[in-house]
Each structure stands twice: as structure tokens, then as C-alpha cells.
């Protein structure tokens, strides 16, 4: 008899939860939050509900705007994707597929690091066994062996824990009559502290230079058999920070003398907040560019980027001309009108460009035109850096090569609105309005020597915090 297959019954489809919708104004929701705060206090639960309400209000506002797109909502929640011309304007790149590509210089080297690339590696001389210097060569009857100036390098790399430990087992002896115990002295240079000063320095580099979380380092050290709890790391860093205060003060003074200052804010959560009127905390990144070097400062607290930069500029030497300040157009990023503390304001061209990238799905032709024009400007700037132009030469080059492009772009932006080709309240219209409103600051690189195009350096510095 044939065997019959037993068919399993299909699982019932999941039932859609019963949803109830009710239109509640933002004003009422915020009043409810005030009542919740009065009843519960400003605890963790209240802050969670506050964040939830503000997030839902933001999503509702965005969804209610004209020409809203799923791409914009994804951008708000998950951050920016790559915004290169090739990634945004895919159709334009496909149409140019048959054109010859620009020739770029081939990168030198093969990517491998030789012995010369390890300047801090421990050098261990190894003597050659056998024949000594000026001895007869064993392979020819009349030759003599002489030492070469350069040895043959043999590179070997080993893996160790980031923080290592040594246990000195000090020998002890005891008198069998009086019971006195004698302990060997520690070797010279060992010190009296359990944790060497180098531990705090390395922890600072790992946490704030390489972005390694302390809990992750704790697990790594435990795996190597050298435990270092996160709480201990914090104590060591706090102790090391006090030692670095004079160095930080000097770096602040030198940063205030910079010719170009980049600044930006990012939200920073602090476990213990000071009882001030402002409850939000931020970390401001300030990158100062001088002729010889760059200095990056990080300031965490209740003050915005503009206020922190103003405090840094208090240390600027008298007689110096106003520095160029690069930031986005938020009022919180600018320095107040306070006499000598005024700066030459430049706004981020990449920030304005991003507003067009967000609406590319609705206005592909217009966005392709603008991004294509800005692409040439960025290529000109890259060429100026590649050829090592000084600020004056770079300014003249941009005025000659990028100036006509930006003039044409300004005419195009004005024609889009005044020629009724774009609805001012649309996503594209708002992007155009923003760019026209800040046109003077966005094109400072055509008037001031050394003015940057964007604030990407501050974004890059901010990313390691």
C-alpha cells in the first residue's frame, strides 16, 4: 500500500492588531508631559516618554509636509548614506557609462608594510655565527669577509593585550628565632603605584582616539587574563585628566590663534547633570587650522558650539584679524556680536547640498543639475589641494574656475523660484530658499583666502567622540 503524506495545516495568518487613531495636538501632548513631570518628577521614565512624544511629533510633522518621501524619513532615523554624485544621480551616471573615464594617478606601493614602516618596533641585533670580520671567506680562497652597513631585517609581529601586567615575586626570608621577615627590594624603576602613568595615557588614546568602548576593553582584557574593569578605567582616566589640564589650556590658547575655525555640536548623554536651567548636554568639536598644524578641541557641557567657540576666542591675541568660522547655519553655532570676537562667517556647502539630496526622488532633473555643478567646484578644490596651492593662489584659481559656475548656479536658483518653475513650499523649494538665504556665507571661498567649502573636517573630528 502506498504511503500517504500527511499535510500539515497551514498556520492561520497573523491577526492585525486593533488600532485606534485620534488626532491630538502637539500643544496638548506637551501639556500632558508637564503634568507627568509634576506627578513623577524628572526621572528616567519621564525622559523616555518625553523622547517618545517628541519623536512621534517630528514624524507626524515630516509626514504632513508636501512632497515628503520615504527616503527623507529614512535619512532622519538612520542618518545619511553616501551622498556622492554617482550614488545620488544614478541615471546620470548610467547615461555617461560610454564616456571615457578620467585618468587618475595610480597609487604608489603595494599596500604591504615593510620593516621601515615600523619606527617604534623593538630592534634586536643578531650576531652572525661563524667567520668574523676580515676572516677568510669559506667559499673563495683569497676573499675576506667584511660587515655590511645595513643588516638584513626580519620582521615578526606578535599579539598582546592592550594593557599588560607584570608580577614581581619578591623573595622573602624569615628568622627562625625572632620571626623577622626580610623582603627583597623591587627592581629600580618599578615605582610604588599599581597602575603606571602610561596606563591612563593609553586608555585615553583607546577611548577618545580610537573610540573603543570601555566595556569592550574590559572583556578583551579579561580574555587575556589581565582584568581591567570599566570602573577602574574611569578612575584612571579621571586622574590622568587632571594631569593634562595645563596641556589642554595651552592647546586652547594656541587654537584661539587659528586662521580657520571649524565648529559643530553633537548630542552627548551625561549620567550626572549639573543643576542648570539647560538640561540638554552637547559635545562641541572645534578644529583650529593654522599655518603649521591643526588642533582639535572637545568641550562637553550645557553650552552650544557658538558659546564654546566664543569662550575659546577669549584667548585670541590682540591685533590678529578676525578668523574664518566654518559651521552650518544654525544660530547656536555662530559667535555673538561681541566686538573683537566677531568672525568671518562661512557656511557649509555640503550641508546645503544635502537638502537637495534628500528630495532627489521627487526632483531628479533639478537635483542632478545642481549636484553636477557643485561636483565641478569640488573637483577644482581637490586640484588646488593636490597641486599645493597657497591660500592666495587657491582663491585666484577658484575665482577663475569656480566663480562662473557659482554665478550661473545663483541665476538658476533664482529662476526656479521667481520664474515659477518650482513651488516654494515644496521640498526642492525649501532647499533652494535655504541656499539663496545663505548664499553669501556659502560662497565665502570665492572672496576670502583659505576659506573652506564645507564643515566636513569638523564632522570627521566629531565622529570619534
- Final residue belonging to a domain, choices 246, 275, 308: 246
Residue 464 has pLDDT above 50, yes or no: no
**Does any domain span residue 438?**
yes
- Residues 326-364: pLDDT tens digits? 998 888 888 765 444 678 999 999 999 999 998 888 888
**Does any domain span residue 49?**
no
Q: How high is the pLDDT of residue 1?
A: 47
**Does any domain span residue 208?**
yes
Helix H, strand E, coil C: the string for 313-342 is HCCCCCCCCCCEEEECCCHHHCCCCCHHHC
Let me know whether 218 and 360 are in one domain.
Answer: no
**Does any domain span residue 345?**
yes
- Residues 107-131: pLDDT tens digits? 565 567 888 888 888 888 888 876 5
Query: In total, how many domains does the chain have?
Result: 2
Let me know: does 95 contact 368? Beta carbons within 8 Å. Answer: no
Q: How high is the pLDDT of residue 110?
A: 57
Let me know: does 326 contact 456? Beta carbons within 8 Å. Answer: no
- Within 165-263, residue ranges assigned H as helices are 197-204, 214-223, 230-255
- Final residue belonging to a domain, choices 246, 278, 311: 246
Query: 341-346 long-range CB contacts below 8 Å, 24 or more apart?
Result: 341/310, 341/313, 341/314, 341/316, 343/261, 343/313, 344/444, 344/448, 344/451, 345/441, 345/444, 346/441, 346/442, 346/444, 346/445, 346/448, 346/451, 346/452
**Does any domain span residue 129?**
no
Let me know whether 242 and 331 are in one domain.
Answer: no
Rounded-to-integer distance, Cα 360 and Cα 366, Å: 8
At residue 140, the 3 state secondary structure works out as: coil
Let me know whether 234 and 383 are in one domain.
Answer: no
CB-based contacts of 69: which residues, under 8 Å, 6+ apart?
A: 358, 359, 361, 362, 427
Residue 256 has pLDDT above 90, yes or no: yes
CB-based contacts of 443: which residues, under 8 Å, 6+ apart?
A: 406
Rounded-to-integer distance, Cα 257 and Cα 286, Å: 13
Closest by Cα among 354, 320, 341 to 442: 354
The position carrying cell 528630495 is: 359
Let me know whether 376 and 282 are in one domain.
Answer: yes
**Does any domain span residue 162?**
no
Closest by Cα among 453, 437, 439, 359 to 398: 453
- Residues 12-69: pLDDT tens digits? 666 656 656 667 787 888 888 888 887 877 777 777 778 788 777 777 776 666 555 5
Residues pairing with 346 in the sheet: 326
The position carrying cell 583607546 is: 206
- Final residue belonging to a domain, choices 177, 212, 246: 246
**Does any domain span residue 52?**
no
Let me know whether 212 and 322 are in one domain.
Answer: no
Residues pairing with 15 in the sheet: none
Q: How high is the pLDDT of residue 138?
A: 77
Section 188-195 average pLDDT = 88
- Residues 149-181: pLDDT tens digits? 888 888 888 888 999 999 999 999 999 999 999
Let me know whether 278 and 425 are in one domain.
Answer: yes
CA distances from 407 to 96, 210, 347, 441 (A): 26, 42, 17, 14
Let me know: does 428 contact 296? Beta carbons within 8 Å. Answer: no
Full residue range of the structural domain in which residue 441 is found: 256-462
Let me know whether 235 and 260 are in one domain.
Answer: no
Let me know whether 210 and 346 are in one domain.
Answer: no
Let me know whether 325 and 241 are in one domain.
Answer: no
* Burial of 204 per CB tally in 10 Å (0-12, 13-18, 19+): middle
**Does any domain span residue 423?**
yes
Let me know whether 216 and 324 are in one domain.
Answer: no
Let me know whether 265 and 414 are in one domain.
Answer: yes
Let me know whether 337 and 383 are in one domain.
Answer: yes
Amino acid at each position: 500500500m502506498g504511503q500517504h503524506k500527511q499535510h500539515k495545516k497551514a498556520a492561520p495568518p497573523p491577526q492585525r492588531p486593533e488600532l485606534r487613531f485620534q488626532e491630538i495636538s502637539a500643544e496638548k501632548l506637551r501639556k500632558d508631559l508637564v503634568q507627568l513631570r509634576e506627578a513623577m518628577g524628572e526621572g528616567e521614565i519621564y525622559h523616555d516618554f518625553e523622547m517618545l512624544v517628541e519623536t512621534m511629533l517630528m514624524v507626524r510633522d515630516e509626514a504632513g509636509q508636501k512632497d515628503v518621501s520615504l527616503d527623507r524619513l529614512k535619512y532622519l532615523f538612520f542618518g545619511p548614506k553616501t551622498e556622492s554624485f554617482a550614488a545620488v544621480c544614478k541615471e546620470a551616471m548610467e547615461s555617461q557609462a560610454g564616456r571615457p573615464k578620467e585618468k587618475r594617478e595610480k597609487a604608489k606601493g603595494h599596500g604591504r608594510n615593510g620593516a621601515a614602516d615600523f619606527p617604534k618596533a623593538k630592534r634586536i641585533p643578531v650576531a652572525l655565527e661563524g667567520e668574523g670580520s676580515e676572516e677568510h671567506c669559506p667559499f673563495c680562497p683569497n676573499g675576506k669577509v667584511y660587515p655590511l652597513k645595513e643588516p638584513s631585517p626580519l620582521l615578526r609581529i606578535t599579539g598582546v593585550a592592550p594593557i599588560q601586567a607584570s608580577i614581581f615575586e619578591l623573595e622573602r626570608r624569615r628568622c627562625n628565632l625572632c620571626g623577622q621577615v626580610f623582603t627583597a627590594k623591587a627592581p629600580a624603576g618599578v615605582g610604588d603605584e599599581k597602575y603606571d602613568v602610561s596606563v591612563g595615557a593609553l586608555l585615553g588614546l583607546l577611548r577618545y582616539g580610537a573610540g573603543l568602548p570601555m566595556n569592550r576593553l574590559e572583556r578583551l582584557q579579561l580574555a587575556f587574563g589581565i582584568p581591567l574593569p570599566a570602573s577602574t578605567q574611569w578612575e584612571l582616566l579621571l586622574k590622568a585628566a587632571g594631569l593634562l589640564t595645563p596641556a589642554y589650556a595651552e592647546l586652547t590658547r594656541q587654537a584661539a590663534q587659528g586662521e580657520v575655525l571649524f565648529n559643530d555640536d553633537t548630542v552627548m548623554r551625561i549620567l550626572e547633570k549639573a543643576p542648570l536651567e539647560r538640561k540638554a548636554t552637547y559635545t562641541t568639536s572645534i578644529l583650529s587650522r593654522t599655518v603649521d598644524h591643526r588642533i582639535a578641541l572637545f568641550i562637553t557641557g550645557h553650552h552650544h558650539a557658538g558659546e564654546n567657540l566664543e569662550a575659546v576666542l577669549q584667548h585670541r591675541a590682540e591685533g590678529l584679524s578676525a578668523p574664518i568660522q566654518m559651521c552650518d547655519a544654525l544660530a547656536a553655532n555662530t559667535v555673538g556680536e561681541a566686538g573683537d570676537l566677531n568672525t568671518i562667517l562661512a557656511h557649509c556647502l555640503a550641508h546645503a547640498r544635502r537638502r537637495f539630496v534628500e528630495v532627489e526622488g521627487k526632483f531628479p532633473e533639478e537635483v542632478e543639475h545642481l549636484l553636477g555643478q557643485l561636483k565641478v567646484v569640488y573637483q577644482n578644490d581637490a586640484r588646488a589641494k593636490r597641486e599645493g596651492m597657497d591660500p592666495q593662489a587657491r582663491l585666484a584659481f577658484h575665482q577663475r574656475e569656480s566663480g562662473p559656475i557659482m554665478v550661473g548656479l545663483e541665476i538658476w536658483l533664482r529662476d526656479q523660484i521667481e520664474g515659477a518653475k518650482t513651488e516654494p513650499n515644496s521640498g526642492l523649494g525649501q532647499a533652494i530658499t535655504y541656499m539663496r538665504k545663505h548664499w553669501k556665507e556659502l560662497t565665502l571661498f570665492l572672496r576670502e583666502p583659505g576659506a573652506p567649502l564645507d564643515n566636513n573636517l569638523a564632522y570627521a573630528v566629531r565622529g570619534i567622540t
